[in-house]
Chain A
């Protein structure tokens, strides 16, 4: 059986999606990145190997997400694709009529505007992570509950309180203030959901023409409170697809399937054996000019496989020197 693998290594979670020859999802996996992208990619590959039939033949591998280049070198990716395009492709595969994709992940949030099956505009949060998964996790922890409880409790709200969602720091102090005033937890939780949705629409969604159907993807779409608040705020059809949390990985797998079928090239995939290899990462300051760039490098048995991070490309061009 021929299969296509998409790996989405995000800041908070690492996602795997395996598609068969007819682009059906046969396996998917959702792991916490825990700040160890290499180990998580290796662990994920082990799991993928375990779950798939023995005679599996990987026809192509694509990586996406913020660690796409690192992951790409490790697995031998045939395609390294940005997460905006990957999410759009994933959404369009299941919903060809989609006009808007809302994607809220661990630290990134995006909006993608699609017309007639073509991306026409997009936006992504810049320096502020308010309203993303990490912030919700943090608040749930502070209220001594897990994120599933957060999601359930927020739905029980009857009179949500208004919370300043402009900034994570202010949202938090505002939440504490509301707690100390004696507001009910569920009302605070749902108030927070509303604040985050407002923040998202005012920042990432600013000036974007949001038209239905809206496809809501990313890990945060698990949160019922946020889904409800989004529906209320934009007052239009919001679809949460079944595999919303791995849509980026699915998109990447679709793209690599398309590309390898067009080029008829054999996959560069290094095989499942790489799960056992010990990679080493390190960094140094380049002293070639006053920019003093921080160069990160990935090596295996003392041999440098790749380098990143310079303003010029003297290190990228000759990784071995």
Chain B
């Protein structure tokens, strides 16, 4: 049995750590690239969204490397993602790969469901070993996200553009290579320190833009054409509420205990949308209402054909909490130059708006 996984941002790093500690045979397919996308687009049913296409491309590339047990998240009540795995398995079979897709249903059984799945995959490894490996994976995830948060702060105000991105790329590699807690801690300390020393324009008051929308396109820069980096180049500070580490913390540990981080967002969205519509639609509306005062604008990312986000997109203009929103539909047809033109115009709009506010 050889395990293969799809990509989502840097998630492969904690997964790799987990598999290594359990001595499993696994492959990590190449990070998302043009070929992944082409494969995914070619073999996806018509009208499928970009998360489906890219993960399908990953699974095909993993199968090419000999993976026969492919992991996919699944569950009920969360948009089409619920039947991704079944559909993708059919595609793989029709392509002649005899691979099985194992659904990791985190939405119902939470932490327990995930740990049980790992136990099955690891050929009944001891619970002590599983929990130790899982903890190490989580530790890597937390380190990556803590560094990324720092990067988001430095990007817009650094003197030499690109410095933070370069450090982040190095930090990701170092995190991947760290093989015990001690070296992992060192990586975190090192890079947070280096980032704090990056020369910056202290007088700058960067525009603050919230990145909201669908989970996958938010976390996979390949699918959104590096929208965060591009905003950083334009001198905009990005705030993103979704981080994989946060999501894991809540959905695996805290939600089962009755703590719901999304309650705030849902409550804020209530006057305009009263129920969950799948995906992150409800939260998107909530973010707009909640942050109309403290952000300059929102960039709303949605996969093309994503029903929940389309509903959210059409509700947002009618909220009385007023803040400019730029919706970007992510798809293989999204072109970089078109997106940059929109981002530049959006940033101009936000600048003028802030200036007008100051005058009043």
Contact = CB atoms under 8 A, between A and B. Distances in A.
B324 A120 contact: yes
B333 A82 contact: no
A311 B221 CA distance: 10
Interface in B204-255: 225-226
A148 B292 CA distance: 48
A259 to B, nearest CB: 13
Interface string A197-212: 0000000000100000
Interface in A275-321: 289-292, 309, 311-313, 317
A84 B341 contact: yes
Contacts of A311: 225-226
A122 interface: yes
B194 to A, nearest CB: 18
Contact of A122 (B30, B317, B338, B349): B349
Interface in B14-72: 30-31, 33-35
A207 B341 contact: no
Contacts of A144: none
B356 interface: yes
A122 B349 CA distance: 9
A85 interface: yes
Interface string B327-340: 00100011111101
Given A291-B34, A292-B34, A312-B165, A82 B349 contact: no
In this complex, the member of A82, A309, A317 whose beta carbon has the largest number of chain B beta carbons within 10 angstroms is A82
A119 B349 contact: yes
B353 interface: yes
Interface in A112-166: 116, 118-122, 124, 126-127
B353 A118 contact: yes
A83 interface: yes
A313 B329 contact: no
Contacts of B329: 126
B341 A82 contact: yes
Nearest to A116: B356
B162 interface: yes
A290 B33 contact: yes
B31 A84 contact: no
A207 B162 contact: no
A313 B162 contact: yes
Interface in B274-323: 314, 317
A66 interface: yes
Nearest to A317: B162
Contacts of A126: 329, 333-334, 338
Interface string B166-208: 0001000000000000000000000000000000000000000
A119 to B, nearest CB: 5
B352 A119 contact: yes
A124 B348 contact: no
A122 B325 CA distance: 10
Among B329, B337, B340, residue most surrounded by chain A Cβ atoms (within 10 Å):
B337
Contacts of B353: 118, 120
B49 to A, nearest CB: 15
Contact of A66 (B33, B341, B356): B341
A311 B165 CA distance: 12
Contacts of A207: 314, 317
B1 interface: no
A124 B342 contact: yes
A311 B314 CA distance: 31
Contacts of A121: 324, 349
B345 interface: yes
A313 B161 CA distance: 10
Contact of B348 (A119, A290, A309): A119
B344 interface: yes
A276 B189 CA distance: 55
A290 B30 contact: yes
Given A126-B329, A291-B33, A292-B33, A66 B337 contact: yes
A124 B341 contact: yes
Contacts of B352: 118-119
Interface string A235-257: 00000000000000000000000
A290 B337 contact: no
A123 to B, nearest CB: 9
Contacts of B338: 124, 126
14 contacts: A66-B341, A83-B341, A85-B349, A118-B353, A119-B348, A120-B324, A124-B338, A124-B341, A289-B31, A291-B33, A292-B34, A309-B336, A311-B225, A312-B165
Given A120-B353, A313-B162, 10 more contacts: A81-B344, A84-B341, A85-B344, A119-B348, A121-B349, A126-B329, A126-B338, A289-B31, A290-B31, A291-B34
Interface of B: 30-31, 33-35, 161-162, 165, 169, 225-226, 314, 317, 324, 329, 333-338, 340-342, 344-346, 348-349, 352-353, 356
5 closest residue pairs by CB, A with B: A84-B345, A82-B344, A290-B33, A85-B348, A127-B333
